[in-house]
Amino acid sequence: MKIIDVITKDIRFPTSKEDTGTDAVHVDCDYSATYVTILTDNKSISGIGLTFTIGKGNDLCCRSIDYFKEFIIGKKITDIEDNINLIWNKITNHSQLRWLGPQKGTTHLAAAAFFNAIWDLICKYYKKPLWRYIIDLDTNVLINKLSFTFIEDAITKEEAANIINNKKKNLPKNIDDLNSTIFPAYTTAAGWLGYSDDKMQTLVKDYLDHGWKYFKIKIGQDIKRDIHRCKLIRRLIGNENKLMVDSNQIWNVQESIENINKLKKFDIMFYEEPTNPDDIIGFKKIKNAIPEIKLATGEMIHNKVMFKQFIENQSLDYCQIDSCRIASINEIIPVLLIASKFNIPVIPHAGGVGLCEYVQHLNLINKFIITNNSFELCEYAESCSEHFVNPAIIKDGGYVTPLEPGYSVRIKESSIKKYDFKSGDFWT
Ligand SMILES: [Mg+2]
């Protein structure tokens, strides 16, 4: 079975109309997907992948992917599977394209979409959901599909293999026993910054009724309003449920320290992205100034080398891996392995378009063959789930294990037809 073409589409959903996704710095998000389809000479099998953006610039990711096609067109799926690390290196270290990164920004988001589609294709070829395909791989075969460049000072391939092999000892004899796993989730969807108090209260009550125990709200534009919202939601959820806040990078280091000191009486489980997402030293300064608080970050950490530094420097307490910011499984699993070695809990970033569908696989890979930390939690926000053929399913406040072959982000044809930014009925 060979690759015959790669098609990209610029899909944009008009979520800004409802204030969905609004936070301190992103005030008018139109949740979007750079949507990749890898066509094969067998019509029944295609690879689907995406990266998530919030509107303008989504076309730039689509355009970048045009430069990657030559590395897979004409190749057999099994050859791509065997050489996926080599192809990953050729694309992320391309001698001309790397000037646009390297391994960050638009080209890296595009690489995420492209490799997400390749992994989807491989898993469909073997008729397995991605999490199961990865767990079933021989450890050394898996390690050789991953990129360890520039992180081997933090974790060697041998250490990585040992972590996986030790975890695999705990797997049940029949792996099908894992199919009924429910992975715990928290919701962000009740507390977007643009929501009124009334809307937030109604949503929080509804989530409580459905068994949710972890809530995150957006803060950061006005500390007086932040205090008011924290007080309100803490009263609604009681002391037994958990509250997290996310200020989406808006404060400088000193403002972060001052504002966190004003909020900590609300028993906040973590403060997400208080300051610039590249400021490894700044995060550490905040932690040093208020040692009793926990910081979370990761959705804008743009590659594995940055994650290495954040984790080794103890600048974060919760690692929020993003399935579409760094370049797919080749780079995500090495970060999960570093987190495991340094005993840092991983709470993947989700919401957006397709992120919940992706992270449900990453949670299970991490839980079953990687993490040495016992804490389990993942973000969930159901934005745009209605557009997916097989959306992530939530039951009792947790993710239901996906069993369909692939990596789960096929968008309905009707949604593509309507929301394609170039030709869709909605935009034209
Ligand atoms: Mg966030």
Does residue 385 form part of some domain? yes
Do 231 and 282 belong to one domain? Answer: yes
Sign of CA dihedral 113, 369, 339, 346: positive
pTM of the predicted protein model:
0.97
Q: What is the pLDDT of residue 239?
A: 97
Distance 91 CA to ligand 1 centre (A): 28
Q: What is the pLDDT of residue 80?
A: 98
Do 249 and 135 belong to one domain? Answer: no
pLDDT digits 0-9 by tens, 58-79: 999 999 999 999 999 999 999 9
pLDDT digits 0-9 by tens, 141-178: 999 999 999 999 999 999 999 999 999 999 999 999 99
Does residue 427 form part of some domain? no
Task: Using a CB cutoff of 5 Å, list residues around ligand 1, an ion.
Answer: 246
Q: Is the pLDDT of residue 18 over 90?
A: no
Q: What is the pLDDT of residue 379?
A: 98
Q: How large is the average pLDDT for residues 260-264?
A: 98
For 360, other C-beta atoms within 10 Å of its C-beta total: 29
Q: What is the pLDDT of residue 382?
A: 85
Cite the active site residues: 218, 349
Does residue 168 form part of some domain? no
Distance 39 CA to ligand 1 centre (A): 34
Do 54 and 197 belong to one domain? Answer: no
What is the rounded average pLDDT for all residues in the chain?
Answer: 97
Closest-CA residue to 134 (of 119, 148, 152):
119
Do 210 and 134 belong to one domain? Answer: no
- Number of domains, the chain: 2
Does residue 163 form part of some domain? no
Q: How large is the average pLDDT for residues 258-273?
A: 98
Do 142 and 265 belong to one domain? Answer: no
228, β-bridge pairs: none
Distance 320 CA to ligand 1 centre (A): 9
Distance 287 CA to ligand 1 centre (A): 18
Do 113 and 179 belong to one domain? Answer: no
Cβ(86)–Cβ(16) under 8 Å?
no
Do 182 and 149 belong to one domain? Answer: no
Do 311 and 396 belong to one domain? Answer: yes
Distance 246 CA to ligand 1 centre (A): 6
Cβ(12)–Cβ(427) under 8 Å?
yes
Distance 307 CA to ligand 1 centre (A): 16
Do 320 and 251 belong to one domain? Answer: yes
Cβ(272)–Cβ(300) under 8 Å?
no
Q: What is the pLDDT of residue 153?
A: 98
Do 217 and 127 belong to one domain? Answer: no
Cβ(388)–Cβ(410) under 8 Å?
yes
CATH number at residue 275: 3.20.20.120
Distance 101 CA to ligand 1 centre (A): 23
Q: What is the pLDDT of residue 300?
A: 98
Closest-CA residue to 352 (of 105, 28, 30, 102):
30
What is the band of 383 on the pLDDT scale with cuts at 50, 70, 90?
confident
Q: How large is the average pLDDT for residues 24-41?
A: 95
One-character DSSP codes across 316-327? -SEE---TTTS-
Q: How large is the average pLDDT for residues 105-125?
A: 98
pLDDT digits 0-9 by tens, 297-309: 999 999 999 999 9
Q: What is the pLDDT of residue 22?
A: 85
CATH number at residue 109: 3.30.390.10
* CB-side neighbour CA atoms (13 Å) of 208: 16
Q: What is the pLDDT of residue 396?
A: 86
Quote the CA–CA distance of 402 and 180 in Å, as a whole number. 9
Do 300 and 384 belong to one domain? Answer: yes
Pairing of the two strands 32-40 and 46-53: antiparallel
Does residue 287 form part of some domain? yes
Does residue 362 form part of some domain? yes
Does residue 337 form part of some domain? yes
Does residue 104 form part of some domain? yes
Do 317 and 270 belong to one domain? Answer: yes
- Determine what percent of the chain falls in helix, strand and coil, rounding each to the nearest 5: 45, 15, 40
Domain that holds residue 55: 3-155+415-419
Distance 299 CA to ligand 1 centre (A): 7
Q: Is the pLDDT of residue 207 over 90?
A: yes
Q: What is the pLDDT of residue 20?
A: 80
Question: Measured in whole angstroms, how far is the alpha carbon of residue 259 from the centre of its chain?
Answer: 27
